[in-house]
Amino acid sequence: MSEAGAAVHAEHEREGFVRHYIFSKDHKMIGRQFLFAGLVMLIVGGLLAMMIRWQLGWPETPLPITGLFSEEFWDGDSWLAQTLPYGTITSEFYNALFSMHATIMIFFVVVPIMVGAFGNFLVPIMIGARDMAFPTLNMLSFWTAVPAYILILLSFFVPGGAAAAGWTSYSPLAAVPDYLGVAGPWGVNLWCISLIILGFSSLMGSINYITTIVNMRAPGMTWFRLPLIVWAIFIVSILLLLAFPVLTAALGMLLFDRLFGTHFFLPEGGGDPLLWQHLFWFFGHPEVYILVLPAMGVTSEILPVFARKPIFGYRAMVYSMIAIAFLSWIVWGHHMFQSGMDPALGTAFTLTTMIIAVPSAIKTFNWLGTLWGGSIRFPTPMLFALGFVFLFTIGGLSGIFMASTPVDIFIHDTYYIVAHIHYVVAGIIFGIFAAIYYWFPKMFGRMLNETLGKIHFFLTFVFFNLTFFPMHFLGVGGHMRRIYNPLHYEFLEPLQGINVFISVMALCLGASQLFFLANFLWSLFFGRRASENPWQANTLEWTAPSPPPHGNFLTAPVVYRGPYEYSSPEVAEDWLPQTRRVEVASAGGHG
């Protein structure tokens, strides 16, 4: 391998810095680019969340940054002094905080890391291809996303601040610039433009993933020998492909309403505010599954490896993902029970929403079945994958409560909803961490530190639950989401103790991530060198060198079996790579 490694390095040096690291057409480098972009935004989004919690725990108390600057500074007209007068979070800035926290976490962290980073890194190599079907389009997809990133970050600095109409930007609040009560219209405008640009990036990505998976599988890699993460990315690409253009159309119309005096979403010109909600959630609910399916795929990859067992019900896993994808198109109305809807229609949406819980439950039980009787090992990726299963179960169950209209009328727009979305979407971050800990050796050729990783997991897991579980109580107590100062409401005063507790736990949760940051940065340069297959896993990426060279494989892989044949009776070892040909006539195999 060392000879090959040397050859690889020689090739990289020939490629030149710009070609190799910046305008790279190698799917693995583009995956790394998306990963770094997503992680930077994760830090930004996390800091926004910390500020939100500060304001809710200790309303209108100056942030501990006031002392850092002089009186003259705070009296001046710099951006910081204007946005945070004397370190205090204003109500306008608070609106921007929660709007941008959600936007950044959903569009600029989870999708780019899960689909952009891991989709790019894993899809070609796991199906045994040298690269994507359209490497140039792939590069373009990343470099189209970059302006979107820059615009959304710049929007904090325009007059009036960043978008402050919530990540859902309901009209008429978002459709009329004056309604937000801020000094300039460009926050929401840039929000729209940024997301439209991001839509083009995701379109290019989807085209690439779908074409690659359909056309470029290695010999013997049949559809039902695909690893489940590849299935997940395939289905997610189809959802992204079909859902995002609808959002693009809606965003265009919203922008027209704001800039050119149309009245799509404004009643005074014959428009319909509800139409925005329909269009947004028609995109928005598939988006939820766009976020969660890759995390499910990651979990399905990791559990068999560390339980040393085949995945339980491979085909059921595939079919349930397909079922989720289909059903996700007909459940959007459950976001709108309170918006004024024909009760009969509401009942239909209740029903479809409850039905979508079935395939989700199939997946959860299959994960449990995979663990059952396995010889389970607990390295950090496994811990995070199990953490995801736990959090997804809680988030999924609270979703069933909301699905029924009568319950939703009570908990709509309360912290119960906030608890639910964080158990699901922030739970997906557990899937992201699992993926990073699991594939880091393949991506960067070095191992992450296990001790730091375990500390990171346990602190994150404990503080995550202490942060988000009490939000259920707040919600049932009637605590509205998106309010600036809970102390403005007399009936919320008894709940303020919970708010303070949550804020302390959230700050601890944020601080725990420093272990990950330190581990990531240190291991990137000084971690133990990774072998080709450190986890003794079956899938194709582990037959390539770590990190794989441009072109991925030293010899073209041929696939003889499914991806999860662990503890197979056919061989002495407890793993059986997909490329390994066993001469004995086999009666094994699975699902």
Partner 1 sequence: MTYLRFASTAPPEVRRRPLRVRPQGPPPRVPEPPGGDDWGDHHGDEDAFRPPLSNACLGMLVFLGAETMFFAGLIGTFLVFRVASEAWPPPAMPRLPVGVTGLNTLVLLASAYTMWQAQQAARRGLLRRLLHGLGLTALLGVTFLLVQGYEWMRLLGFGLTLASGVYGATFYTLIGCHALHVCGAVLWLLGVTLRAWRGRMALPSTGLTLCGMYWYYVVGLWPVLYTLVYLA
Residues that bind partner 1 (CB under 8 A): 129-131, 133-134, 137, 203, 206-208, 210-211, 214-220, 222, 224, 241-246, 248-250, 252-253, 256, 260-264, 269-272, 275, 279, 556, 558, 560, 581, 585-586
Say if CB 280 and CB 191 are below 8 A apart.
no
Say if CB 15 and CB 549 are below 8 A apart.
no
Helix intervals (H) in 23-134:
27-57, 71-75, 79-83, 91-103, 111, 120-127
- Tokens linked to 65: 């940054």
Distance CA 200, CA 148 (A): 10
> Taking the complex as a whole, how short is the minimal distance between the CB of residue 49 and partner 1, in angstroms?
31
* 187 phi, psi to nearest 5 deg: -60, -60
Distance CA 234, CA 319 (A): 13
Angle at 389 between CA 383 and CA 395, to 5 degrees: 130
> Taking the complex as a whole, how short is the minimal distance between the CB of residue 228 and partner 1, in angstroms?
18
Choose between 105 and 195: whose C-beta lies nearer to partner 1. 195
Say if CB 538 and CB 575 are below 8 A apart.
yes
> Taking the complex as a whole, how short is the minimal distance between the CB of residue 55 and partner 1, in angstroms?
36
Choose between 87 and 588: whose C-beta lies nearer to partner 1. 588
- Residue where the block lists tokens 């804020």: 503
- Tokens linked to 54: 């500060």
> Taking the complex as a whole, how short is the minimal distance between the CB of residue 500 and partner 1, in angstroms?
44
CA 556 to chain centre: 32
- Residue where the block lists tokens 């690889």: 8
> Taking the complex as a whole, how short is the minimal distance between the CB of residue 540 and partner 1, in angstroms?
13
Q: 575 has which bridge partners?
A: 566
Say if CB 331 and CB 389 are below 8 A apart.
no
Helix (H) or strand (E) holding 81: helix 79-83
Choose between 205 and 304: whose C-beta lies nearer to partner 1. 205
Choose between 249 and 348: whose C-beta lies nearer to partner 1. 249
> Taking the complex as a whole, how short is the minimal distance between the CB of residue 202 and partner 1, in angstroms?
10
* 535 phi, psi to nearest 5 deg: -100, 0
Choose between 174 and 426: whose C-beta lies nearer to partner 1. 174
> Taking the complex as a whole, how short is the minimal distance between the CB of residue 208 and partner 1, in angstroms?
8
Say if CB 177 and CB 152 are below 8 A apart.
no
Choose between 96 and 122: whose C-beta lies nearer to partner 1. 122
Choose between 216 and 354: whose C-beta lies nearer to partner 1. 216
Say if CB 360 and CB 320 are below 8 A apart.
yes
Choose between 136 and 375: whose C-beta lies nearer to partner 1. 136
Say if CB 344 and CB 576 are below 8 A apart.
no
Choose between 211 and 496: whose C-beta lies nearer to partner 1. 211
> Taking the complex as a whole, how short is the minimal distance between the CB of residue 273 and partner 1, in angstroms?
12
Q: Which of 242, 254, 150, 259 is closest to 197 using CA atoms?
A: 150
> Taking the complex as a whole, how short is the minimal distance between the CB of residue 91 and partner 1, in angstroms?
32
